[in-house]
Every structure is written in structure tokens, then in C-alpha cells.
Amino acid sequence: MGADVGTLVLAGTPIGDVADAPPRLVTELANADVIAAEDTRRLRRLTQALQAHTRGRIVSYFEGNESARTPELVEALAGGARVVLVTDAGMPSVSDPGYRLVAAAVERGIRVTAVPGPSAVLTALALSGLPVDRFCFEGFLPRKPGERLARLREAAAERRTLVYFESPRRLDATLAAMAEVFGADRRAAVCRELTKTYEEVKRGGLGELADWAADGVRGEITVVVSGAPETGPGELDPAELVRRVRDREEAGERRKEAIAAVAAEAGLPKREVFDAVVASKNAARAASANGKGLS
């Protein structure tokens, strides 16, 4: 595109303490032609706290209007505008609006840059006391219990440290589901109100943390869970795989789901667990037939 094309700036904002705002944030807010904000009221409070004077047009950009407003912002960028995108806290696009606008800007050849800022993901990870050399961010889990369990089972064999966002209203149910799928003794940390006055980091096994959360927890929550233990795929014999599948079936799971969950727990292909179940079933049938033949 031409030299007069604009720039999209993803601006990180404080996750709690306003003093954590990067100095460049004030400059970008002051120089922006357009400021796209997840919540315009929060933006005004932030600019007042930072004593930042804005001259650009301020528009709302949140989940409900993200698709409709993206083309408008892209056209402003194509026309030479400097557009600054801010969300309520942290970095845009990370479980917040922004991805659609970045993708559309990249497709049009528009420059995209960022003002790095505080991150709940990295802050919680650093404070958790769990391994930080390899990790993956899972965002928010589904609200429906069945979908939440399915997502957790997909991650049951993940070796990397896992980071989740969660609502305080669902924290107890989520931790209980994690204890069920990952194991009650799996180490984790619940990070609450990071960088704010009542910041708290609660560390322990998932079962212990689920019991703690049952009494109710307030504030913004980030959950960090240690990765699956280093157990080799060959450590569980077929009989143990079959037993685990049977236990899950007796608890009400369908066989297909039980096999998938056990495979994830053991770090094995689903086919290997399926073959063990079929072999056990065939062996039981053969033993029954032999017993009848001898009677």
C-alpha cells in the first residue's frame, strides 16, 4: 500500500495497578487519530488517571460490535489514520477483542505494532511456582459442564504448564472438574486480583483448591495448572487401560468418551486403548465359550 497508509497500535493496559501502565501508552493515546476501546467509560477513567490528553475520535470496539466495526476501522487505517486499540485490561487479542482487526489489517498490508504492557497470563505464570519453561494458554473454558469436561480431557496429557482464565462464579466447578480429569493431587495455583490491593495466590493440589473455592471466591481469576507428569506411554499395561475404561463406563460415560479420556491420561493413541478393550472383550468371550464346552 502507499506511504500514507496508517498504523494499527495494540496498546496493553494495566491489569490492576494503574501505575503499571507503560509510559508509551500515554504518548500513543495522545497521538491517536482513532481510539477503539472495549469500554469507553473505562478508557476515560484510565486517561484521567494517567493524565493523558486525547485528541482522536473514540469509538467502542467490543465483542458485540467487533465484526461490524472492523471494516470501518480498516478503512480509516487505509486512509492514513493511526488507530490505537485498547481493551479493559492487558493486551488486546488475548481473550479480548482484537484478533479480527489485526487479521483484517494484515490482509490489507497495514502495519501493526504494539505497546507491550502487563499480562495476567505471564504474571500468574511467574507467581505460580510451577514450571515456566514451556506453557500454553487455554483462555476461558466452556460454560457447559459437558463441554468443559471434554476440553479438559483434551489437555489431560499435556506436558506443558496450562494457564486458564475463569469467572469467580464458576471457579469451584472448574477446579472440581480439573481435579476429576487431571487428578486431585495435580499441582496448581489460583491467582486472584493480580496487582490489585487484595492480590492473592493460592497454591496446592486441585482437590484442595476445589474445596477452598467451594466457599466462594471474588475477583478476576487466572488458574495455572502443572503439566501432566512424565510417564512413558508404555507404563500402563493393557489390563490397567481396560480397568480405567470400565471405571469410567460404570460412572456413566459412554465407551467412546471413556476410551478417549483414558488415552489422553496415559498419553497413548485412542486406537491403542480401543484395541486393549476389544482384546479384553474377545478374551472374555473365548473364556466363556471354553467354559461352556467343558461343562
Q: How far apart are CA 243 and CA 239, in angstroms?
A: 6
Joined together, the cell numbers standing for residue 293 give 464346552
Joined together, the cell numbers standing for residue 21 give 501502565
Query: What mean pLDDT do residues 41-49 have?
Result: 96
Joined together, the cell numbers standing for residue 72 give 470501518
Q: Distance from first CA to last CA of the chain, Å, rounded?
A: 86
Least confident of 57-66, 85-94, 242-251, 283-292: 283-292
Q: What does the pLDDT read at residue 113?
A: 97
Q: What does the pLDDT read at residue 121?
A: 96
Q: How far apart are CA 223 and CA 128, in angstroms?
A: 9
User: Within 13 Å of residue 171, how many CA atoms lie on the same side as its CB?
Assistant: 27
Q: What does the pLDDT read at residue 247?
A: 86
Let me know: does 196 contact 17? Beta carbons within 8 Å: yes
Q: 122-167 pLDDT, tens per residue?
A: 999 999 999 999 999 999 999 999 999 999 989 988 999 999 999 9
What integer best gives the mean pLDDT of the chain? 91
- Classified as helix, coil or strand, 112 is strand
Let me know: does 224 contact 130? Beta carbons within 8 Å: yes
Q: 177-217 pLDDT, tens per residue?
A: 999 999 899 999 999 999 999 999 999 999 999 999 999 99
> φ and ψ at 69, to 5 degrees?
-85, -20
Q: Dump the DSSP string for 127-183.
A: HH-S--SSEEEEEEPPSSHHHHHHHHHHTTT--SEEEEEE-TTTHHHHHHHHHHHH-
pLDDT-above-70 percentage for the chain: 95
Joined together, the cell numbers standing for residue 23 give 509510559
Please choose, from the candidates 37, 35, 44, the residue with its C-alpha nearest in 3D space to the C-alpha of residue 8: 35
**What are the residues whose beta carbons fall under 8 Å from the beta carbon of 284, sequence distance 6 or more?**
none
Taken as a whole, the chain contains a residue count of 295
pTM of the model as a whole:
0.76
Confidence of residue 174 (pLDDT cuts 50, 70, 90): very high
Q: 24-38 pLDDT, tens per residue?
A: 999 999 999 999 999
Joined together, the cell numbers standing for residue 268 give 497413548
Specify the residue for cell string 484521567.
48
Residue 293: CB atoms within 10 A of its CB come to 7
Q: How far apart are CA 230 and CA 164, in angstroms?
A: 21
List residues bridging with 189 in a β-sheet. Answer: 203, 224
- Distance of alpha carbon 210 from the chain centroid: 18
Helix spans in 92-132 (H):
99-107, 120-128
For residues 93 and 237, the model is more confident at 93
pLDDT-above-90 percentage for the chain: 73
